[in-house]
């Protein structure tokens, strides 16, 4: 996901007449030099320390902290937020912002989003903004107003007035809110957003106070932004990802043939959520996203969770499969390897050659037989040739099972469980 943090959105909104809290954006090196004086110029008795991370519900998750505005007293809190951001690869920016008192009952939610069904932007408005907005909007009586926008004309005064009448917002307040929404829509278009929201905004005597903001950028528009507004790209943030994810991205970058889409799973979060239900993590590869997700569901039902999700479809060459297989097997914590293809036209014999070469390099003493249980399902073009290659190289037996197109995802998951427990019994 490509996103813009709240600091830059608020800065872009200043000319809209909205009330924007004073604040400073800083990184770890800035804090280490200036942490004790960063609150200068902020007169409020309290300050907010806000991790600039792309997620909702930051307060509940401990990413936003309220602290007394006493110089140096929030050093440890800032260091803890930086540490957590680094651990989870969520960037390294923190916003120190003044706290402005406001009436909590007067919180609104406004957003513009791209509707892929109607292929047009939509305007969203609710009088129930705040940290509970996601749950609120799920209910049938959420009060969410939704207006389709003609992308050639943009939102007009009549549309906003129609929404404000339903919410009983009148006079100067309605005009100020319209001006704020028009500026937000201009940012949405200028930045090529797929989504931008202000949540919450609060009606105060000084005007509409913007407490939080979030925006997501269309990935396909980055090249256009590079050409038209290169300085803006400095404001864009993308989660760094793990070292293995960066290596996988380089595989695709250096070889356009087929795909090698790879992302790692947060094992700590899975263990925290499922506890003893997690029997082990599996290195995972699929040909086709749909079949991959189905196979993962079946594995999870048996207590085996993917350590990664990888899709190597689009007929990649053996060399690309070889590189990504080595990467999958280099992961920590994995207790097995699972490969499955959909019934596709991909030349699965090339896929098999790449996997075999990786097996032989990683497990040379056993002639390429993995030390962990490995189950592979070849279904589609050249699937018999693929299975024959494993037999020719002697990579099939106690720890390796090769299945064909007669096997379903459910069959494959059950067979992996049998193989896994067979390995454990053999080791005992």
pLDDT of residue 32: 63
Strands (E), 205-251: 207-210, 213-217, 236-237
Its CATH architecture, for the domain 243-427, is 3-Layer(aba) Sandwich (3.40)
| Beta-sheet strand order (sheet of 64-68) | 23-26, 94-98, 46-51, 64-68
Q: Name the burial class of residue 275, with classes exposed (0-12), middle (13-18) and buried (19+) by CB atoms within 10 angstroms of its CB.
A: exposed
Closest CA to 307 of 341, 288, 280: 280
Q: In the prediction, which pLDDT does 40 show?
A: 67
What are the pLDDT digits (tens) for 256-315?
899 899 999 989 889 989 999 999 999 999 999 999 999 999 999 999 999 999 999 999
CATH architecture for the domain at 104-237: 2-Layer Sandwich (3.30)
What six digits make up the tokens of 100?
A: 């402005």
Residue 16: the pLDDT is 81
Q: Across the 428 residues of the chain, what is the mean pLDDT of every consecutive 10-residue run?
A: 88 87 86 62 83 86 84 73 84 88 78 90 87 58 83 92 92 93 95 92 89 88 77 74 83 85 91 93 96 96 97 96 97 96 94 98 96 97 97 93 96 97 51
Could you tell me the residue ranges of all domains in the chain?
22-98, 104-237, 243-427
CB 356 within 8 A of CB 291: no
Contact 85, 65 (CB under 8 A): no
Residues in the chain: 428
Q: State the DSSP string of 154-201.
A: ---HHHHHHHHHHTT--HHHHHHHHHHHHHHHHHHHHTTEEEEEEEEE
Answer for the pair 316, 359: CB distance below 8 angstroms, yes or no. no
Separation CA 118–CA 337 (nearest Å): 42
Task: Give residue 209's pLDDT.
Answer: 92
Q: Smallest Cα–Cα separation from 336: which of 420, 425, 401? A: 420
**This prediction's pTM:** 0.65
Are 18 and 180 in contact by the 8 Å Cβ rule? The answer is: yes
In this prediction, residue 203 carries a pLDDT of 87
Give φ, ψ of 37 to 5 degrees: -125, 5
What are the backbone angles phi and psi of residue 105, rounded to the nearest 5°? -80, -10
Give the domain 22-98 fold. Answer: Dna Ligase; domain 1 (3.30.1490)
């Amino acid at each position: 996901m490509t996103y813009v943090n709240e600091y830059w959105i608020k800065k872009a909104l200043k000319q809209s007449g909205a009330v924007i809290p004073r604040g400073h954006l800083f990184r770890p090196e800035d804090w280490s030099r200036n942490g004790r004086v960063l609150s200068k110029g902020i007169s409020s008795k309290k300050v907010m320390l806000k991790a600039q991370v792309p997620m909702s519900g930051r307060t509940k998750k401990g990413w936003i902290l309220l602290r007394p505005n006493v110089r140096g007293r929030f050093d440890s809190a800032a260091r803890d937020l930086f540490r957590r951001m680094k651990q989870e690869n969520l960037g390294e920016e923190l916003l120190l912002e003044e706290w402005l008192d406001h009436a909590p009952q007067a919180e609104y939610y406004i957003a513009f989003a791209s509707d892929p069904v109607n292929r047009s932007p939509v305007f969203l408005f609710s009088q129930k903004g705040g940290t509970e907005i996601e749950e609120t909007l799920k209910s049938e009586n959420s009060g969410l107003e939704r207006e389709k926008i003609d992308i050639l004309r943009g939102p007009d005064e009549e549309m906003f007035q129609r929404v404000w009448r339903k919410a009983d917002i009148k006079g100067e307040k309605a005009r100020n809110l319209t001006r704020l929404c028009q500026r937000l829509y201009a940012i949405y278009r200028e930045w090529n957003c797929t989504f931008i929201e202000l949540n919450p905004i609060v009606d105060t005597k000084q005007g509409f106070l913007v407490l939080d903001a979030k925006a997501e950028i269309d990935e396909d528009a980055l090249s256009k932004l590079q050409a038209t507004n290169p300085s803006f790209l400095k404001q864009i943030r993308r989660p760094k990802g793990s070292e293995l994810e960066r290596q996988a991205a380089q595989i695709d970058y250096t070889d356009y043939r087929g795909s090698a889409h790879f992302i790692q799973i947060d094992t700590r979060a899975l263990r925290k959520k499922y506890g003893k239900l997690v029997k082990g993590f599996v290195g995972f590869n699929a040909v086709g996203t749909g079949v991959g997700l189905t196979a993962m569901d079946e594995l999870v039902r048996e207590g085996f969770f993917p350590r990664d999700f990888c899709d190597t479809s689009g007929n990649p060459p053996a060399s690309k499969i070889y590189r990504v297989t080595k990467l999958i097997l280099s992961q920590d914590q994995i207790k097995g390897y699972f490969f499955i293809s959909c019934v596709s036209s991909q030349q699965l014999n090339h896929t098999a050659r790449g996997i075999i070469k990786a097996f032989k390099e990683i497990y040379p003493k056993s002639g390429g037989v993995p030390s962990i249980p490995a189950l592979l399902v070849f279904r589609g073009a050249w699937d018999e040739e693929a299975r024959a290659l494993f037999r020719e190289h002697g990579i099939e037996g106690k720890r390796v099972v090769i299945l064909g197109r007669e096997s379903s995802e459910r069959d494959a998951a059950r067979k992996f469980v049998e193989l896994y427990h067979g390995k454990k019994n053999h080791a005992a």
